[in-house]
Amino acid sequence: MLKIMSANVNGIRSAYKKGFCEYLAASGADIVCVQELKAQEADLSADMKAPHGMHGVWHCAEKRGYSGVAVYSRRQPDRVQYGMGIEEFDREGRFVRADFGKLSVISLYLPSGTSAPERQELKYRFLDAFYPMLSAMKAEDRDIVVCGDWNIAHQNIDLKNWKGNQKNSGFLPQEREWIGKVIATLGWVDIWRHLYPDIPGYTWWSNRGQAYAKDVGWRIDYQMVTPALAAKAVSAHIYKDEKFSDHAPLVAEYDYPF
């Protein structure tokens, strides 16, 4: 059984202070994709580089205390791709891919557009650039999982207050249409929705008000999977027993050798 976790930690140093490293050990995950490291390589402790003896690869942002992604694995990757090959996005540390035999695992941190119109425009540029990459990866004839914070809720079920958010970044018609095409046109499988069609599965809650306590959440963290691997998905869960950041880890199990 292969267990893959995706977790936006909103600062790995902060998450470690809240017990994330201990959770990794207890989780039994074989591969862990982390987003929003908010650290440079020099800031990472030995435990943050290789928690509990796992192999770690990461792609940090040039800007201090910002963005950054990592993949931790119980096996050493055969090959690693750091970044998308597009400078505008790569300097923000948003993509790292690790290959293990026929399996590829990507940690993705898709831009948010909430802070300014310029960031929403950058988000749209990212979507335009990433779509053909997803198409090309789908054609590789590999088992691929794209884990991460996609910063888009796809359908009404994916956020509590969908009526009030239709003009807000993360639930804009153009964003929703894009992720719909990733699934319907390109053929990627959204594992949570594949396994649990009727369970909201929120993974992020605003720090404003009582959003977490009242479960007024959004499902913006995904494991997008190629069809052959999706057919081997057994279960998934969202870990809320402890709170490491404003996101909760998404964990999926696959009947797949590793």
Kindly list the catalytic residues.
Answer: 109, 149, 247
Q: Is 8 annotated as a binding residue?
A: yes
Q: Is 151 annotated as a binding residue?
A: yes
Whether residue 246 is annotated as binding a ligand: the answer is: yes
Per the annotation, does 194 bind a ligand? no
Give 3's strand partners: 253
Is 247 annotated in some ligand binding site? yes
Annotated binding site: 8, 36, 149, 151, 246-247
Annotated binding site for Mg(2+): 8, 36, 149, 151, 246-247
